[in-house]
Structure 1
Amino acid sequence: MSHSISSPIVVYDGVCLLCSRWIRFLLEHDREGRYRFAAMQSDSGRQLLISHGLDPDSPFSMLLVENDQGYTDATAIARVLRTLPQRRWHWLSATILAFPQKIRDVAYRFVARHRYRFFGRSDQCFVPTPEQRSRFMP
């Protein structure tokens, strides 16, 4: 899989078990290898968060960087889901986007704020397989 400079990047919390499940889900369903990944604990993840106005030491947002534009929260998730090949993810994306942004963001941030309590936390970041490693930024 080759990645262009303009490949969309998903910045995620590498020690959050829910976030790691999201990345595993994308690795399985993004069969074309469209997305690259950066843990917010990594240098590249921290820099992307800072450059898009997010605090890397207190992040409650997932960040999607696509064509130099940053998208956060449920909007970022919906944008990713709509690009996956299976139709059911397009439907879920449309459902998410049907709610007003303010409601989407409140719901997303509630889950994000309590993600460790609800889903757990790992002592280390998600470790990709050797085949997946090229999709992860340092």
Structure 2
Amino acid sequence: MLEKWEDQHIVFFDGECGVCNFWVQWVLERDKNNQFMFASLQSGFGQKFLAERGLETKVFNTLYLWKPGQYYYTKSRAVLQIANILGGVYKLAAIGRIVPAFLSDQVYDLVSRNRMKLANQKCFLPDREQKKKFIEV
């Protein structure tokens, strides 16, 4: 049986991070074509995704974008791909691909290391329609 999320792009994020939650909310508000689903890395679904790929399952400092059966991106490449998928003016972010991943990931890592200081720790509560886009398994 095909799951409702199997044809979506799935964004895995740190569910306890204010910056990550802000980013999820930002994508939700711009996802006019209903292309994304979301799962926290701490969830059973997130843990399974990480474990199946031999990725870190205890430290949640990396954003992942996964298209089931096709690919997954990490860190800055995930951010750029999300912008590209959103389309419109956000496709302009694709110019960031000219920067080698090892350099753009250094910027990503700098933000990641300081994200708790940067975060406005207000809790994000998705509305009823947005809740449908979260994988809770």
What's the TM-score bracket when you normalise by the shorter of the two chains? 0.7 to 0.9
Do the aligned residues in 2 keep the contact of 1:15 with 1:121 (CA within 8 Å)? no
State the partner residue of 1:74.
76
**Cα RMSD after superposing both structures:** 1.9
For residue 96 of structure 1, report the CA deviation from its aligned partner.
1.7
Residue 37 of structure 2: aligned partner: 36
Which residue of structure 2 aligns with residue 50 of structure 1? 51
Q: Where do 1:1-138 residues align within 5 Å?
A: 3-68=4-69, 69-86=71-88, 88-92=89-93, 94-121=94-121, 126-138=124-136
* Distance in 2 between residues matched to 1:132 and 1:36, nearest whole Å: 9
Kept in 2, the 8 Å contact 1:49–1:63? The answer is: no
Maintained 8 Å contact 1:11/1:40: yes
- TM-score, length basis structure 2: 0.86
- 1:121 Cα offset (Å): 4.3
In 1, Cα distance between equivalents of 2:115 and 2:59: 13
Question: What amino acid maps onto 1:71 in structure 2?
Answer: Y
How far apart, CA to CA, are the structure 2 residues paired with 1:96 and 1:67?
24
Of residues 127-136 and 75-84 in structure 1, the stretch that sits farther from structure 2 once superposed is: 127-136
Instruction: Structure 2: state its 5+ residue gaps.
Output: none
Q: Which runs of 5+ in 1 are unaligned?
A: none
TM-score (norm 1): 0.86
Whole-angstrom distance in 1 between the partners of 2:64 and 2:46: 9
Distance 1:17 1:26, change over 3 A: same
Greater CA drift, 26-35 or 52-61: 52-61
What is the number of equivalent residue pairs in this alignment?
Answer: 133
Cα distance, 1:119–1:73 mapped onto 2, change above 3 Å: same
